[in-house]
Each structure stands twice: as structure tokens, then as C-alpha cells.
Amino acid sequence: MSHYENYSRTSATYDRTRQAQGVEIIRRLLSHNPLPLSEQVLVDAGCGTGQYSAALIDSVQHIQAIDLNPGMLTVAGNKLQAQIAAGNIELHQGSIDQLPIDAESADAVMVNQVLHHLADDVTAGWPLHQRVFAEFARVLKPGGMVVINSCSHSQLERGFWFYHLIPEAVDRVQQRTADLDVLGSLLQHSGFGEIGHETAIDIIMQGDAYFDADRVLDPQWRDGDSIWALATQAERDNALQKVRTLVDEGELHRFMQRHDETRLQSGQLSFTWAVLA
């Protein structure tokens, strides 16, 4: 479960604010396995409304998709009705640290924008992340690959113009986010061998809507990024007041452009991949 975002509520609007981004990267990374992609069994860990499963279902043999939130799974079930009926995908309600999947039954695991929702203890060495990665290692066949789609600390600082409105929330999400080097060491500790990272400079999580600066005042637009849920009510009110002032002064677009410049170097998303030894 996410300890800050209410996915039962957000499930109703999630697909209006987000799209599966970086699918081509995932497809290319998974194709490194000697087993052709079309014969692979893929686990979608934290599948949400099934956007990534829907984008990849025709490329792989079978998908096992897991999410904790029933609302998100209902949307996924509606979207993937035909593929479920055809036996190409199974949806499970469950947690990614206890996958309802047999040992050594999968060729690949993808986990897209989920790990920062784990209520982990950084000071104790990320025990929940360790449990999740041990679970990925259990369900993967030797030589299988995990792909983690996440935002690095530097991308959280430099990749999103509107994060400059809620710096305290950025701080909080950074504390819950294992940075790329930490992900690498934790994966190694869980038995993964070859490990690499790929940054997607040109991919924008919310697509074109990211540039609709005025829509920052629309709660549905804000629901497209769970970081808003990490801002206190007072911080959110301050941020929105600042936006209204910028709108009144005709300065909002310039504010967005100024704070978006660093994204062109950092990008917003990273893909960490690791092969089970």
C-alpha cells in the first residue's frame, strides 16, 4: 500500500493523468535475455491500472500483474478484459514483497514507479526494498531480468518544474527514494549480477499535460503525481496561492520554462536493470 497516496480515490482518474512511458526501453532491455521476448513470462509488480501490462501484453507470452489496491486492479481488469479471458494475463491482489507467484516461474519483472511508495526504513538499510528484491530473485529463473522504473534524486531535484512549488514534499520523497547507487547495491545483495542504469532524457511522465502550467490548479492534474500527497495542506495552499499570483501577473508560463530548463539535462525517469546470477 502507499502510505501517502490514496489510490482508491486516484484510481478513478489515474488514466487521465498518466501514460505508460518508456515502454520501448523496457522492451529493448528485456530482449537481452536469450529467450525471445515473445516467449517470456513477465511480472508487472505494482501494476496499478495496468497501463504497462496493456502496452506489453502483445510482446510477451504471459503477464502476472500484482497490485495492493483493489480500485487500481478493477480499472486494470476492465482494461485487460479480453486478454484475461484469453488467459494471457492474470491479475492478483497482493504485495510485491510477497508475490503470489511460484519460484523460478518468471523470465522478467518490471516495477514502474512503485518503490518510493514502500514505507521503508532508510536508517536500517532499506529492509523492505531488500524483501522486495529477494522476492523478485525468488520468482525469476536464473538469467531473468528485473527492470526498475524510478526517479533518481537528481531527477527529483531537476526534472519537474512544479516541484519548485513544493520543495518540502520533494525532500520527503527523496527520503523515501532509494537512489540509483543504492538500488544497485541492494540488487547485488539480493543475488543480481550484471546491473546497469539508463536515463531517459526525453520522456515526460505526464506527457504533454506537463506543459499545461495552468492545470496545476486542477486537483485531477495534480493527482497525476503522488508527490502532491506528500505536501501538507498548508504547503499545498501556499503553492496554489503562489500559482494564482503568477497567473495574475502573467508570469506562470515563464516560471515553468525557467524551472524546466534543468530537465533537459537530467530527464525525469531512470531505468535500472539487473540480471539474476
Ligand X SMILES: C[S@@+](CC[C@H](N)C(=O)[O-])C[C@H]1O[C@@H](n2cnc3c(N)ncnc32)[C@H](O)[C@@H]1O
Per CB under 6 A, residues contacting ligand X are: 1-2, 7, 18, 46-48, 51-52, 66-69, 72, 95-96, 112-114, 117-118, 226
Could you give the CA distance from residue 177 to residue 120 in angstroms, rounded to a whole number?
Answer: 9
CB of 231 to ligand X, least distance (A): 16
With CB atoms as reference, the residue minimizing the distance to ligand X is: 48
CB of 244 to ligand X, least distance (A): 28
CB of 199 to ligand X, least distance (A): 17
CB of 149 to ligand X, least distance (A): 7
In the bound state with ligand X, the residue whose beta carbon lies nearer, of 68 and 182, is: 68
In the bound state with ligand X, the residue whose beta carbon lies nearer, of 223 and 260, is: 223
In the bound state with ligand X, the residue whose beta carbon lies nearer, of 115 and 275, is: 115
In the bound state with ligand X, the residue whose beta carbon lies nearer, of 65 and 243, is: 65
In the bound state with ligand X, the residue whose beta carbon lies nearer, of 114 and 166, is: 114
CB of 18 to ligand X, least distance (A): 6
